[in-house]
Amino acid sequence: MARLPEVKREDLPADQQHFFDGIATTRGEVSGPFAMLLHSPDVSSRIAHVGTYIRFESTLDPAVRELAIMTVARAWDCQYEWTAHQPIGEREGVRPEAVAAVRDRTAPVGMTEQEALVYTDVNELITNRRVPEETFQAVLSWLGVQGTTDLTATTGYYSMLACTLNAFAVWPESEPLLPNASY
- Tens digit of each residue's pLDDT (9 = 90 or more) over 101-127: 999 999 999 999 999 999 999 999 999
In this structure, is residue 175 part of a structural domain?
no
Coil, strand, or helix at residue 48? helix
Structural domain span for residue 158:
62-167
Could you tell me the pLDDT band of residue 183, with boundaries at 50, 70 and 90?
low
Is there a single domain that holds both residue 149 and residue 97? yes
The number of folded domains in the chain is 2
Is there a single domain that holds both residue 51 and residue 83? no
CATH number for the domain harbouring residue 86:
1.20.1290.10
- Tens digit of each residue's pLDDT (9 = 90 or more) over 57-67: 999 999 999 99
- Tens digit of each residue's pLDDT (9 = 90 or more) over 141-171: 999 999 999 999 999 999 999 999 999 999 9
In this structure, is residue 182 part of a structural domain?
no
